[in-house]
Amino acid sequence: MEENNLKSAVEALIFASEKPITLEQIKKVLGITDNASVNKIIGELSSEYETQKRGIRVVEVAGGFQMATCAVFAPFLKKLFKNRYSDKLSRQALESLAIIAYKQPLTKAEIESLRSVNVDGVMKSLLDKNLIRICGRKKIPGRPFVFGTTREFLEHFGLKSLQDLPKIEDFTVMAQKKEEEAGIEPVSPADLEVKE
């Protein structure tokens, strides 16, 4: 297959795939054995979309590639789809999902201990949405299930891997900036001592 046709074929595969298509899937469909040539084509496509300031991009998500709209156009897309049903996650679900994402694998009891509430309903919802999965059993009495995130979790949040999650330190810096903007001074342990 000629190089231009090959590039068009890769572009068509990425466009038509409902989920991020992996390098292995592309190679298998096109009968190519060389990773480097497919990576080169994907890089060229990505570069072309960016330099031409197109409305879509080729992005790497959850170990595969997909086409996504350029983030600059998010306000217009929100207007277009404002009445579209979206399956939003509750605050409780997001909190539990964040705990699982950062501390996985862990048991339901460990999640409840960190959140100080029962998470039965939240866990069922996250399992139903396929954002978490049962990874195995913990080797303690009762052998409870341990949970971790799924590939769908990475896709849902547009992450290549769990290493793309924001670092915990970043949240501390963000909280400090918000406090400074609000005019809140940090409190030292000495300020909290009761004076008689």
Tokens encoding 121: 């309903």
pLDDT in tens, 38-91: 889 888 988 988 888 888 888 888 888 988 888 888 888 888 877 655 567 888
pLDDT in tens, 123-141: 999 999 999 999 999 898 8
Residue of 158, 165, 162, 157 whose CA lies nearest to 66:
158
Q: Cα separation of 57 and 158, whole Å? A: 13
Does residue 121 belong to any structural domain of this protein? yes
In this prediction, what percent of the chain has a pLDDT beyond 90? 19
Between 104 and 4, residue with greater pLDDT: 104
Owning domain of residue 144: 91-169
CATH number at residue 41: 1.10.10.10
* Number of structural domains in the chain: 2
Whether the predicted pLDDT of 163 surpasses 60: yes
Does residue 82 belong to any structural domain of this protein? no
Residue of 45, 59, 62, 55 whose CA lies nearest to 77:
55
Whether the predicted pLDDT of 148 surpasses 90: yes
69 and 95 part of one domain? no
